[in-house]
Structure 1
C-alpha cells in the first residue's frame, strides 16, 4: 500500500469527521467529558497516522502488507509526481476464453503420475483448483503418436491400424480427469505432434488418407468420452508442421457426421499465415473456429484480424520458471490481447515433470520432477497466472479501453456477463526482467509512474471499493512480494496507485482470491540408489514408473510366464515423427550425475534384432539420436558389442559366436538373458549372464561422457522385453 494521500483518502475523511465531533461536544457532564477525551485521543491517532504516511512518502518509503503486518520498503518516488489518467468505460471488446497449460509436446507430465499422496493432489490443486493457485481454465494435451515430441514420447491409443484402441495408455487421460474433478468448467484442447507409422500409408505424411487420419482423431475424442466422460472442446491439426487445407475441411465434416458438432478446430498451431488462405476460401475458413499461433510475440497480423475469427496464443511462454520467466508470462498475458487481440494464452508447458537435463529445463508453471522425494516447487509464474485466472472467468469481456501505459507497461480491463464486476490487470515488466525464450524482444523502457483509472458509465456509480493484489518481481523480490492482497478506495469513481517497474497488480471488485498454501514441502533429494524394478507393482498405469521414453514406447506387459509383468517395447514401425527420432527405441531413467554405477536387466529379444543396456547416456529429447554413452548390445545373431553412441557408429568392443571370445559364454537363444554394465574407478566391465565379457579402461574408449542416465533399448522398432532392472553404486 503506497504512502500516497490520494490512496489514503479514507484516513483524511476520518480525520475531518473526528475534528468536527471533538469541537462540537457540550462538556456539561462527566459522561460527555469522557466522550470528549476519547474523541480527542482518536483524533490525535488519526492525525499522527496521516502525518506519518506523508512523511514516509516524502522519505521515499512505501508500506506493503505482509502476513497481516506492515513492512517498509524503499522506492524512488516523488510525491509530487502527477498521476496519469486512464479512462475505463463499459464499451466491450472480445470475449475472454481463458488461460491454460499444455501437457505434452512432449511427455512433460511424465513423472507427475508417480508422485505419492498427498503431494500429488496438492500439485493438482495448485494447477487446477479454482481460486487457489493457477486456477487454469484450459488444459491442452497431446494426442500421443508413439514418437519423440520434445522431452519424450507419448503413447498412441492405436499403435497398429487393426488393433482395438486402448485409451488407458499414457497419462493424459488421468490428468484430464483430475483437472475436471477440480474444475468441471475447464475446457479441453488436444493436438497431435506425431502419428503412428500406419497413418501415412507408407509415407511420412499424415494426410495421405484424409479418412484414415480423421477417424484416428475422432476415435480418440470419442474414447475420452466413453471411457472417462471427458468432453474434448477443441482439436488441432499437426503441431508446428505444414497444414493440409483439404484435410481440415474433411475433418470438420467428419466431426459433424460423427455427432461432434461442438468440437471446434484450432489451426494451424504455427504462424498466422493460415489466415491468408482462409480469406481466399470460405469453406476452409468456415471449418476453423480458432486461429492458433505459437510464440506470436504478442502480435497478430492484418489477415488474421480480417478473418473475424477468435485468435489464440495456442502455445506460448516456454521460459525457465524463475522470476524472469514470471515476468515474461505476466507481460504476454496482458499484451497478447492489447497488441494482438488474442483471447487465450496457453503455456508450454503445464508442469516440468521431466528430468532436468532433458531439453527446456523447467519451462513451466510448476516444477515436480522428484516423485521419489515428493518435492515440488511453486514458482512466482504460477501466481502471475492467478492475477488473471482468479479474478476473470471465461465468457467475461475485455473492455476496449485496455491499452499501454505511457511510461511502460500495459493494462487490461474485463467485465463479467452482467457488466457488474470489474477486474483490471496492470503490468510494468521491464525488458531484461521479462525476456521470454522466444521471439526476440525489442528494447523498451519502463519507469516509475502514478496512474489514475477513472471509471465511467455504470462502474462510476456502483464501484466504491476495489481489492488490490500485488506481485513485485525482478531480481531482488522474494516470496513475500508475491500475490499480496490489500484494499484500495475508489474516490469519485477513480482509483489512483503508484507503479514501480516489474510490478503486476490486479484491481478487482471481487472479494475472492487466495494464495493457496499446503505448508511444508518435502525436501529435495537425488534419485535413490540402489534402485530396482521388477515391473509387478504398478497396476493403474501402463508405463513403468520413472522411465522416460525417448524413442519408441515401453509399456508394462503381462508376460504369462514366471517373469510376471515385464516392460515391453511395443512400436513395431517407424512413426511419422515430429523430431528426427532415433531408429533405436530407448528409455531413460535415473540421475544425470551418475558416473560409477552398475546397471543390469534381464532381456528377451523376441523377434527384434537386438537389445541393449546403457549408462552415462548424455542426451534425450529431439537430440536423442546423437546420444553418447556406454551401450552394451546383445544381438539376435549371437553377437555382443560395446558402443559409445546410440547410433552404433563407434564400436569399441565386439564379439561373435564363432570367435574365440565367445567360448565359455552361456547364451539362452530365444529366451531370457541378463546384461550388465559397471564402471568402477575408471574401469568398465561388461557381463552376459554373470560371465565377464570385457574389462576396459574408460580412457581407451572414444568420447565417453563423464556422467549420464541409465537406459534400456532395442536395436530397431520391434517387440522386446525387459525385467528385473537394477542400478546400484559401484
Structure 2
C-alpha cells in the first residue's frame, strides 16, 4: 500500500504516538521543568522509579518449540531465509530476542499439530539425533549464548511403565534424554513432567533425586505445567515442595481471550518459589499481539509471575493445521522461502530487547495507569548494574491519550532515556517497534503522552534494533516432485514431510534393497496427549493447492499390516481429531480400499477389493491417482479399482500405516494430472448476477453480488480448488466456520479457508467450514456481500465456475 510521506515533525510525533517538547535537531519529549501549553492533557499517572526498592527477580520471556510440530518446516527453509527467521527469533537486538526456549521431549505421538519423534522408540535403543529440536536449540544458543533452555514431555513411547507415564521408566528415559542434550553441548536449565496432565508427588521427588544422581543437580524442576492446584499440594507436602523449584502454570490469564487479568493464588505466592506462566499465547502472530502485550506485564502485576512462555515459538507448519498462524511469525512455505514476521515478535521485543533474566522488578514503578485496568499497565525492571532501567507500558484498552510523569531516584541513571513504540492497532509493520525519540530528564524527571492501543518501552539501555531482512514472494511447489530418500535432509525426517502421529525416519532399506528408505519407527501405541479416536501414524507433505495428480511409493511390509497413500489432504481437525482426505489402503494380504475421511475421523469406504497377496519382506509399488472426481488405485502397475467422489478438490499428499507397525517406503513420487486452471466470471444462480470484488484488489476487500458485466472485478481464475483475482484468493474471513461469516479477497496462503469444493447441485462448499458460498437471503441487490451458510441447494448458493 502506498503511503504519503510524513512532512512535518509535529505530524511525525502524532504518527508515532507521543507528544512533542522542544524541537531542536530532532524529537524531544517535554520535561516537567518546561511550561506545558494550556491545551496539554493533565498527567494521569506518576511513576517513581526507585532503585532501592526492588521486587522479584525477572526470569525471562520465551517461547515453546513443540507441543505439536509447530517448528517442523523451519529446518527445511532455504538459506538465507532460514537464518533470517532464526535471527528474528533469537538474535539479540534484532527481533523477538527470546530469553527462554522450551523444547518438547518427543514421544512419537500427536501433541497438537504434529508428532515429535522420540529418542527411544524402543527400550534400550537410544538415538540422540532424532527430530529437529536439538537443531533448534543449537541455533538459538549460537545466536544468544545466554538463552536458557527448558524441556517438557507431551507424550512418551508406549513401552514406558507399561503405558504409565508416572513410572521409574519415564524418569530413566528423561535421564537418557538429558544425556543426549549434553552430547549436543546443550545445558537444560529447567525440566518439567507431563504437559497439562497433573502430577504425581512421588514421581517428582524421584525425578529430583535422579537429576542430582546423574550430575544434573543444577537443572531446576518445574511443576506441574497445568493449574494452580499444584501449589496447594506443595503447601501441604514439604517433601514435594522441596523437589519442585518452580511453579509453572498454563494460561493463567485465560485461554484465547484478551488476557486482561492474570492472577495466581495467595497459596502459590506464599511458597517462596518462582511462579511462571509456563505456557501462554496460542494466538495468531498478528491479531494475538494485544493479548501478549497485556499478559507479559499483567502476569507480574496480578500474579507475581516472573517468566512468560508463548506457545508456540513460530508457525512453521502447514496452513491446513488448526493452529497454523500462531506464534512469533508464520513460515509455511519452505520451497519458496516466504515468511511473515508477526506483530507478536515486536510486542515481545518491547520486553526482551530491554531486559535480561536476573534483572529485578521495581514494584513501586509498576501498576495500572490511572489506577484503572482499561487505561493500561506498566512494569519497570532494573539492571544488575543497579543503574539502568526499562519501563514497559501498554495502553491496549485505553480510549484516549494520557500522560505519565516519571521521577527517577535511588541510584538509577537520570541521564537520557530512549523511547520505543509499537502502534499495536496498526497493520502497517513500519509502525511496529519504532525508536521514537530520546528524552533528557531534568532533575531525573520527564513526562510523556501516550496514545491508546500502543506499547512503549522507556529505557536507559542501548543496542536495540529491528531486523531488515525481507521475505521473498510466495509460490506454489511445482509438480512433478519426487524423493528417493537418498539425499540427506537436515534432520532424520525427509524434506517437507511432517509427521502427525508416529515417527517416520530415514534408515537403511530392508527387504534386500540398498540405499535409504523411510520407515515408521514407533512399534506400539504411545502414551498419548491428544485423544483422537483414530490413532495411527501418518505423515503429510506439500502444497495445499495441488488438485489432479498421482501419488506413488514403493512399500515393503516388515510385518503384517496396512499401508496407505493419502491424497488431497486438506483441513485437519483440532488436535488431529479428523482429516479431510482420501486414503488408498493396501494390506499385505492384498486387500485394498479407497476411503474418505473427514475432520471428525468419520471414514467412508468408496471402493474396496482384493488383489494377490503381497506378503512381507518384499517390495511393491502402490499408486493413487486423483483426477477430477475419479480416484484410481494401482498396485504393481495393475489397476485394482476406482471410485468417484467430488468431496475434496485439492490438497497435499502423504504416507501412513493403519496401526503402530514398522513398515517401509521408498521412491515417493508425485506426477501432475490435468491442469484445472480456467479464467472467467463466477455467475450466480440468481439470474444476471456475478461475484465481484472491489477494483482495488486489496486484501480484505469484500466480495459482493453485482450485475454481470465482464469487468476485471468479475474475472476470476479457478485452479486447484481456489478462486483467485489479481493474485488474491477468495477467503473466508478469519478462518470462520459459522453461518454468516464474510467472504473476502486475501493473500493466498493455501489454507483450507481458501479451498472450495464444487458440488453436484452447483453449490460451492468451503473445505474448512463445510458451508456453502451464499448470497444472504437470496438478495439480488447490487453490493450484497457474500458469506458462507449451511448448504441448502438454493439458487442463491448455485454458482457457475469459469
Alignment TM class, shorter chain as reference: 0.7 to 0.9
Question: How many matched pairs?
Answer: 637
Is contact 1:532-1:725 (8 Å) kept?
yes
Q: Which runs of 5+ in 1 are unaligned?
A: 15-44, 59-77, 431-444
Q: Which residue of 1 aligns with 2:407?
A: 454
Alignment equivalent of 1:655, drawn from 609, 619, 631: 609
1:463 aligns with 2:414: yes
Q: Which residue of 1 aligns with 2:158?
A: 197
Cα displacement string for residues 425-460 of structure 1 (whole angstroms, at most 9, x for unaligned residues):
111012xxxxxxxxxxxxxx543211112223223x
Q: Which residue of 2 aligns with 1:671?
A: 618
**Partner Cα distance (1:236, 1:622) in 2:** 25
**Partner Cα distance (2:109, 2:574) in 1:** 10
**Partner Cα distance (2:188, 2:406) in 1:** 40
**Partner Cα distance (2:526, 2:500) in 1:** 13
Q: Which residue of 2 aligns with 1:300?
A: 264
Q: Which runs of 5+ in 2 are unaligned?
A: 1-11, 254-261, 674-802
Alignment equivalent of 1:172, drawn from 87, 112, 133: 133
Q: Which residue of 1 aligns with 2:75?
A: 113
Q: Which residue of 1 aligns with 2:449?
A: 498
Alignment equivalent of 1:142, drawn from 104, 107, 110: 104
Q: Which residue of 1 aligns with 2:94?
A: 132
* Equivalent runs, 1:348-497 vs 2, <5 Å: 348-401=311-364, 402-406=366-370, 408-430=375-397, 446-459=399-412, 462-475=413-426, 477-497=428-448
How big is the alpha-carbon RMSD for the aligned residues of Structure 1 and Structure 2? 2.5
Provide closer, same or farther for how the CA distance between residues 583 and 516 of structure 1 changes in structure 2, counting only shifts above 3 A. Answer: closer
* Equivalent runs, 1:695-714 vs 2, <5 Å: 695-698=642-645, 704-714=647-657
**Partner Cα distance (1:481, 1:638) in 2:** 59
Alignment equivalent of 2:507, drawn from 557, 575, 591: 557
Provide closer, same or farther for how the CA distance between residues 481 and 540 of structure 1 changes in structure 2, counting only shifts above 3 A. Answer: closer
Higher helix share: 1
Is contact 2:87-2:143 (8 Å) kept?
yes
Give SS of 1:285's match: helix
Provide closer, same or farther for how the CA distance between residues 639 and 429 of structure 1 changes in structure 2, counting only shifts above 3 A. Answer: same
1:185 shift after superposition: 1.1
Provide closer, same or farther for how the CA distance between residues 257 and 626 of structure 1 changes in structure 2, counting only shifts above 3 A. Answer: same
Q: Which residue of 1 aligns with 2:304?
A: 341
Is contact 1:152-1:621 (8 Å) kept?
no
Is contact 2:402-2:449 (8 Å) kept?
yes
Structure with bigger gyration radius: 1
Provide closer, same or farther for how the CA distance between residues 185 and 82 of structure 1 changes in structure 2, counting only shifts above 3 A. Answer: closer
Q: Which residue of 2 aligns with 1:222?
A: 179
Q: Which residue of 2 aligns with 1:158?
A: 120
1:112 shift after superposition: 0.8
Q: TM-score, normalised by structure 1?
A: 0.83
Provide closer, same or farther for how the CA distance between residues 138 and 669 of structure 1 changes in structure 2, counting only shifts above 3 A. Answer: closer
Cα displacement string for residues 543-579 of structure 1 (whole angstroms, at most 9, x for unaligned residues):
1111111111100011164452111101110000001
Alignment equivalent of 1:330, drawn from 293, 301, 313: 293
1:578 aligns with 2:545: no
Q: Which residue of 1 aligns with 2:59?
A: 97
Is contact 2:113-2:575 (8 Å) kept?
no
Provide closer, same or farther for how the CA distance between residues 685 and 417 of structure 1 changes in structure 2, counting only shifts above 3 A. Answer: same
Give SS of 1:219's match: helix
**Partner Cα distance (2:399, 2:176) in 1:** 51
Provide closer, same or farther for how the CA distance between residues 476 and 716 of structure 1 changes in structure 2, counting only shifts above 3 A. Answer: closer
Relative contact order, higher structure (CA 8 A, sep 6+)? 1
1:175 shift after superposition: 0.8
* Larger mean Cα displacement after TM superposition, 132-141 or 535-544: 535-544
Q: Which residue of 1 aligns with 2:746?
A: none
**Partner Cα distance (1:80, 1:586) in 2:** 61
Cα displacement string for residues 64-85 of structure 1 (whole angstroms, at most 9, x for unaligned residues):
xxxxxxxxxxxxxx52434532
Q: Which residue of 1 aligns with 2:635?
A: 688
